Amino acid sequence: MLLKGKRLLITGVLTDDSIAWHAARVAQEEGAEVVLTGFGRGLRLTRRSARRLPEEAEVIELDINDQEQVDAMAAHIDGKWGGIDGALHAIAFAPADALGGNFLEASAESAATAFVTSALSYKTLTVALRPLFIKAGGGAVVALDFDNSQAFPMYDWMGVAKSALQSVNRYLAFYLGDDRIRANLVAAGPLSTIAAKSIPHFDLFDIAWRDQAPLGWDASDADPVARMVCVLLSDFSMATTGEIVHVDGGFHAVAMGTGAQYLAQQEAERRQAGGET
């Protein structure tokens, strides 16, 4: 079994359609022991989703921007396991005015919120768990990314935050290598999760991927992404760090196709309808 005996923290689980939930499911199927985190009003949903896993998982409350909760989470894991082998960072948020074509109008506060919650939090989580990784003799952190080699209309400051996440990943890989802690990203194609529904006109991403990805893309199937997350959390990736692995049907590898052009066309029409130039 790929993850037999591994102790994993999986953040960002809300419902059982989330990438993080599927990663937890596959991890359990591959022999791992899993603890989930939830946050605020969504904590009830996380606990409900935890019961739908092959084995019900413990849920810890974690607001990644609350240092007291971060410290309490690490202390709880230490008391439970005395170390940790892997963690999935599946935490992201941008205020509504930082998305949906509002790039030029978004406030500095909203851009900063997107950065702190979606990128800096990767460092926050990893640093909190670092002593537990060291106790275990090393391990792996994985974060969920979205390809940022192009500007995607409507994604706006979340796209900038994801670019920052890629840089954070490289620095974590550099600074934690001596501790035998690996840091990698999985750049997933668009998936129909609750988080995705907060992105205006998310359906346009789905159209673009289905049109352009060489292998095709099913936005309702998180399993391929979850499996790659588990590979990177396993000993099969012992010499891989600072990497971005694309699980997007190959979308990132080909030149702009009609789907991406459709996105650009929709954005141009939106601006024209609004009297913008």
How would residue 266 be classed by pLDDT, with cut points 50, 70 and 90? low
- Condensed to tens digits (0 to 9), the pLDDT of residues 109-137 reads 999 999 999 999 999 999 999 999 999 99
How much is the average pLDDT of 95-106? 92
**Cα 251 from Cα 99, distance rounded (Å):** 22
pLDDT value at residue 276 = 58
Close Cβ partners of 23 (under 8 Å, ≥ 6 residues apart): 10, 88, 90, 225, 226, 229, 230
258 pLDDT more than 50? no
pLDDT value at residue 155 = 86
3-class state of residue 184 by DSSP: strand
Lowest mean pLDDT among 40-44, 50-54, 92-96, 149-153: 149-153
- Condensed to tens digits (0 to 9), the pLDDT of residues 43-79 reads 999 999 999 999 999 999 999 999 999 999 999 999 9
198 pLDDT more than 70? no
In the chain, pLDDT over 70 holds for what percent of residues?
Answer: 87
**Cα 215 from Cα 217, distance rounded (Å):** 7
Among 30, 38, 31, residue whose Cα is nearest residue 10: 38
Residue 275 falls in which region: left (phi positive, over 0), alpha (psi -120 to 50) or beta: left
Q: What is the model's pTM?
A: 0.89
Asked if residues 118 and 110 have their Cβ atoms less than 8 Å apart, the reply is no
Edge-to-edge order in the sheet of strand 86-89: 58-61, 33-38, 7-10, 86-89, 139-145, 181-188, 243-247
Helix intervals (H) in 117-198: 121-136, 156-176
- Name which CATH class applies to 7-273: alpha beta
272 pLDDT more than 80? no
**Cα 173 from Cα 24, distance rounded (Å):** 23
Return the domain boundaries, the chain: 7-273
Close Cβ partners of 177 (under 8 Å, ≥ 6 residues apart): 241
Average pLDDT of the chain, as a whole number:
90
